[in-house]
Amino acid sequence: MANLKLDRVGKTYAGGVSAVENASFEIADGEFIVLVGPSGCGKSTMLRMIAGLEEITDGDVQIGDRSVNGVEPGDRNIAMVFQNYALYPHMTVRGNMAYGLRNQGMPKPEVEARIAEAARFLQLEPYLDRKPSALSGGQRQRVAMGRAIVREPSVFLFDEPLSNLDAKLRTQLRAELKDLHKRLGATFIYVTHDQIEAMSLADRIVIMSAGRIEQIGTPMELYANPASTFVAEFIGAPPMNVLPVTGEAARAFLAQEARVPDDLGHVGIRPELMSIGDNGIPATITLVEPLGAETLVHLKMGADKLIMRSGHGLALDAGAEIKVAVEAGALRFFDRDGRTRSA
Amino acid sequence: MVENRPLAAILTHVVLIAGIVFLCFPVWVALVASTHPGEALQRSPIPMWFGDQGFANYSQLLREGVPAAGGVPLSTMMLNSLFMALGITVGKIAISLISAFAIVYFRFPFRMLFFWLIFATLMLPVEVRILPTYDVVASLGMLNSYPGLIIPLIASATATFLFRQFFMTIPDELVEAARIDRAGPLRFFWDILLPLSRTNIAALFIILFIYGWNQYLWPFLITTDQDLYTVVMGIQRMVNVGEGVPIWNYTMGTAILAMIPPVLVVLVMQRLFVKGLVESEK
Ligand SMILES: Nc1ncnc2c1ncn2[C@@H]1O[C@H](COP(=O)(O)OP(=O)(O)O)[C@@H](O)[C@H]1O
Ligand SMILES: [Mg+2]
């Protein structure tokens, strides 16, 4: 009932800034979609166009098979959660949640019932009569979620809702969000610049760069088969090693590969698909970062630098000479424009 | 840093008390003078403690006024002042809230031109435009009327500007959240903008009420009917009676009465004001 369709959507701001260009994708009912990309790439603009807060200048947005261009945000059956919470500061938690429902003319008992349920689910019951200024950041964001939930919209929109919170709370609320999605079964569209959030939350990720969609796919698709060097370097921490074919490292990797496409620009390899072997490509360790469960090993191959992920208990120090072995099929190939080429 | 030096403490207190005495002395003299018969104030030294005529003086003032100064009861003048001050205050706040709302939240043609036009009127206080304003009011037949007293003083660039600045500090997301919550422009204004502006409204109310209460030149020009005289005009008339007739006791009593409403407004509004400040802390 709430599938969503964007058809060649574009946004050019009054000053001539083109924030989003030619964006097309479809979202199935109940999907959890994450829009991810570096700051300024147009994620918020995209979300706000879906919400109806921003007029679209090109294309068509459909919610539930209905074109909603020109439909007011309040009539789109959506709810939105903002990074800075955007709670009404002069209303209590209860008032904040009730406001939208009262504006719809919902009878009071039903408003109360919905608030009670949302408050129970979000553990906000003790705070219902407080003002937002008397709540912590995490509690405020819960209230904002509550305000969205009580409306029972078919699409939830989130714009970096966790970015103002500390790391621990972020992890906790991330889990709660995922749980919320499962329980409500509604469509979620979630904007973040944090690829870890994107990977852990999304059914499918839409990754954007400079106003354009780079790739759409499940987190593992994006991770395993990035469509471009941009995606390869954005997803994963540490990111994929992307090496120019003219460098020594790339030539050494390619020498081991049976089938190599022509017209290559770059070669990519994930840090965990390399290991220290008895034979392989010679490299020098420049830095060892033990992180507990794993160790990040910074390597130098000729003039190229790359990072390898290794298990714990690595007994080597910077300066050691090692041999690097590569798993079969680990290499990814990109042309000179950074687009994927298959072998 | 908390210091505990008795000498310094005594010194600061002496200075503070001296300041208070200095400020309060004239008020004290006025208060005392208003409780004596008129002749007592023409002898020297003037009395420093209350006399026994207080009740008689004030009831004479409020009920009949001072014949030598026109004989308008002070209760009438107080009410006139109150109407005028409240009218000006409420009118100014209402108009400037609405204009600021329009300028900040609506995109209409020549928006900035209107803003700068309003802003330019800052350079035209009543005193500067008094002749044309008088002419307009006279030709509209509003001389000797409350609307004539109030309306020409209502437009306020200062308050419009203040509300505009405040509205611009309200995050866009709050406006957007309200749009998603189906609040149209008027709902947004009533339910969100107005309550958030409480503190500003309280502060302006104090300033504007005192401004309105203290108006002298404008009411003096457009009222010839004694029933529309304001307190400030009343004081002026009494002062003009001169030394011949001993009415300083009444003059002082009028001054004391004229002080009461502004003081009350400050006391009441200040509480609201502080409450607003504490609550809006983020
Ligand atoms: N109201 C606006 N007017 C003009 N340009 C804007 C406006 N809002 C955003 N932009 C521009 O559009 C681009 C995308 O912005 P945004 O969608 O907020 O990025 P993101 O959310 O991905 O960080 C940026 O270059 C930004 O400067
Ligand atoms: Mg953004």
Q: For A300-314, what is each residue's pLDDT tens digit? A: 998 899 999 988 777
Distance CA B8, CA A274 (A): 76
Specify whether the backbone of B71 is left (phi greater than 0), alpha (psi in -120 to 50) or beta: left
Which atom of ligand 1 is closest in space to residue A45's alpha carbon? 17
pLDDT higher than 80, residue B42: no
Domains in chain B: boundaries: 6-278
pLDDT digits (tens, 9 = 90+) for B85-133: 999 999 999 999 999 999 999 988 998 898 888 888 888 877 888 898 8
**Nearest-Cα residue of chain B relative to residue A83:** B173
pLDDT-derived band of residue B280, with 50, 70 and 90 as boundaries? low
Calculate mean pLDDT across residues B8-30.
91
Question: What's the mean pLDDT when you consider all of chain B?
Answer: 86
Interface of B with A (CB under 8 A): 171, 173-174, 176-183, 187, 191-192, 195-196, 198, 279-282
Helices (H), A127-240: 137-149, 167-184, 195-201, 219-224, 229-234
> What are φ and ψ of residue B95, in 5° steps?
-65, -40
Q: What is the pLDDT of residue B244?
A: 67
pLDDT greater than 90 at residue A108: yes
Over range B204-221, report the average pLDDT.
90
Residue B192 phi/psi, 5-degree rounding, is -120, -55
Share of chain B above pLDDT 90, in %: 37
B246: number of Cβ within 10 Å: 15
Distances in whole angstroms, Cα of residue B236 to Cα of each of A5, B159, B216, B242: 76, 29, 9, 11
pLDDT one-digit tens code per residue, B241-256? 766 676 788 888 888 8
d(CA B31, CA B252): 7
Ligand 1: residue of A9, A11, A17, A57 to mutate (most ligand atoms within 8 A of CB) is A17
Looking at the complex, report in whole angstroms how far the Cα of residue B196 sits from the nearest Cα belonging to chain A.
7
A86 Cβ under 8 Å from any chain B Cβ: yes
Maximum pairwise Cα distance, chain B? 75
Question: What confidence tier does B2 reach under pLDDT thresholds 50, 70, 90?
Answer: low
Reference B176, options A111, A81, A104; nearest CA is A81
pLDDT at B46: 76
Q: Chain B: give the shortest CA distance to residue A131, in Å.
A: 9
Whether the Cβ atoms of residue A45 and residue A212 lie closer than 8 Å to each other: no
Q: Residue range A115-139: average pLDDT?
A: 93
- In this structure, is the dihedral angle defined by the CA atoms of residues A210, A211, A216 and A220, taken in order, positive or negative? positive
Residue, of B173 and B40, whose pLDDT is higher: B173
| φ, ψ of residue A307 in degrees (nearest 5) | -120, 135
| Measured distance CA(B82)–CA(A77) in Å, rounded | 51
Kindly state the helix (H) or strand (E) to which residue A25 belongs, with its residue range.
strand A18-27
Distance A43 CA to ligand 2 centre (A): 6
pLDDT in tens, A237-285: 899 999 999 888 888 888 888 788 888 899 999 999 999 888 889 999 9
Q: How confident is residue B282, by pLDDT bands cut at 50, 70 and 90?
A: very low
Average pLDDT, chain A: 92
**Do residue B176 and residue A72 have CB atoms under 8 angstroms apart?**
no
| CA of A21, nearest ligand number | 1
Residues β-bridged to residue A325: A275
Beta strands A78-81; A155-159: pairing state? parallel
Contact in structure between A26 and A187 (CB atoms under 8 Å): no
pLDDT score recorded for residue B130: 87
Any bridge partners for residue A35, and if so which?
A191, A206
- Which class would CATH give B6-278? mainly alpha
Q: Which of B171, B176, B181 sits opposite A99 (nearest CB)?
A: B181
Cα gap B177→B154, rounded to integer Å: 34
Q: What residues flank ligand 1, with Cβ below 6 Å?
A: A 13, 15, 17, 19, 37, 39-45
On chain B, the residues whose CB falls within 8 A of the CB of A86 are 171, 173-174, 176-177
Q: What's the rounded mean pLDDT across residues B214-237?
A: 86
B172-205 per-position pLDDT tens digit: 999 999 999 999 999 999 999 999 998 889 889 9
Atom of ligand 1 nearest to the CA of A208: 22
Which residues place a Cβ less than 5 A from the ion ligand 2? A 44
Tens-digit pLDDT profile for residues A10-23: 999 988 889 999 99
Whole-number Å distance between alpha carbons of A146 and A118: 6
pLDDT digits (tens, 9 = 90+) for A144-160: 999 999 999 999 999 99
Query: Which of B180, B191, B279 faces A80 most closely, judged by CB atoms?
Result: B180
Contacts A103 to B, Cβ<8 Å: 181-183, 187
Nearest CA to ligand 1 atom 7: A13
A105 touching chain B per CB within 8 A: no
Set of chain B residues whose Cβ sits within 8 Å of the Cβ of A131: 279
